[in-house]
Amino acid sequence: MKKWGILILCLVAVTSILAACGQNKENGNKEAQGSTEGAKKTLTLGLSADFPPYEFHIKNESGADEIVGFDVEIAKEIAKDLGAELVIKDMNFDSLLNELSTGRIDLVISGLSPDPTRAKQIDMSQIYYNAEQAVVTLTDNKDKYATMESLEGAKIGVQKSSIQEDIAKEITGAKITSLTKINDIIMQLTSGRVDAAIIEGPVAKSFVKNVEGIVITDANPVTEDEGYVVGVKKGNTEMLDQVNATLDRLIKDGSIDKFVAEASALAEK
């Protein structure tokens, strides 16, 4: 009987310990869930920060690297309306749509034009800004490349997977150099590896003011896709509706024009 009594007592003790462990585990899980629920949601923006005044790097007042630009200001407003914290991912322009389609980023705001090919891969907002295209060359060659016809057979630098690349492909005999970064295109131009570059208007103006020896010519690249849009993942209608609502507000109250002016002034520094 003593053996059975001792065995029963041991079983009771083990059961109590297991029950206590289970309760502690459950309480721990509840605490973890509570901390997760209290966390603020994030909105991840994908862009290529070599496109002033849309998006570019600066050293802020603390001496730290910061990505700024009027696309960034638009993203901040979208995040604010969503009650989310904005997270920025800087990447190559030609990888943005794939990152968006796979869900690694939530938005693309990076001088994105609404061409039909992109519309098959992602959903796009209304146009929030209209811009012209420009041809940039060395100062001594301004008159030489004053028309689009004069670019026939020339070596032309463009950003990879951009609307400017599409424009260059329509130029007879053009020898196209497609690079991921605008800075690299400008280096190709100043070193004589390309004769001219096709760049979005405000971006071209920013580089011309900051890089000696280059100029915008009188050539006028024409494209049907002059405006810029926000890209969201295909089928994410809730996000698209929110983006359009924010853009409506920013366009109507003049904020877009204000953001452009402020970012352009900052880029000129």
The letter for the amino acid at 216 is I
- 177 and 156 Cβ atoms separated by less than 8 Å: yes
Mean pLDDT of 224-236: 89
Measured CA to CA in angstroms, residue 203 lies from 217, 222, 265 at distances of 14, 16, 12
The letter for the amino acid at 262 is E
Class of domain 133-216: alpha beta
Evaluate if residue 38 carries a pLDDT over 60. Answer: no
Cis peptide before 53 (omega within 30 of 0): yes
Q: What is the pLDDT of residue 26?
A: 44
DSSP structure class, residue 88: E
Confidence of residue 253 (pLDDT cuts 50, 70, 90): very high
Q: What is the pLDDT of residue 223?
A: 78
Q: What is the pLDDT of residue 71?
A: 97
Confidence of residue 252 (pLDDT cuts 50, 70, 90): very high
Q: Phi then psi for 239, rounded to 5 degrees?
A: -65, -40
Confidence of residue 39 (pLDDT cuts 50, 70, 90): low
Q: What is the pLDDT of residue 264?
A: 86
Measured CA to CA in angstroms, residue 214 lies from 15, 21, 44 at distances of 82, 73, 36
The letter for the amino acid at 247 is L
- 100 and 47 Cβ atoms separated by less than 8 Å: no
DSSP structure class, residue 41: P
Return the higher-pLDDT residue of 144 and 227. 144
User: Among 29-33, 56-60, 196-200, which stretch is predicted with the lowest mean pLDDT?
Assistant: 29-33
Q: pLDDT averaged over the chain? A: 87
The letter for the amino acid at 169 is K
Return the higher-pLDDT residue of 35 and 44. 44
Confidence of residue 226 (pLDDT cuts 50, 70, 90): low
Gyration radius of the chain over CA positions: 27
Tokens of 27: 């309480």
Nearest-CA neighbor of 109 among 100, 121, 119? Answer: 100
> Which part of the chain has CATH 3.40.190.10?
42-130+226-268, 133-216
Evaluate if residue 35 carries a pLDDT over 60. Answer: no
pTM: 0.71
Return the higher-pLDDT residue of 61 and 68. 68
Topology of the domain covering 42-130+226-268? D-Maltodextrin-Binding Protein; domain 2 (3.40.190)
Evaluate if residue 13 carries a pLDDT over 70. Answer: no
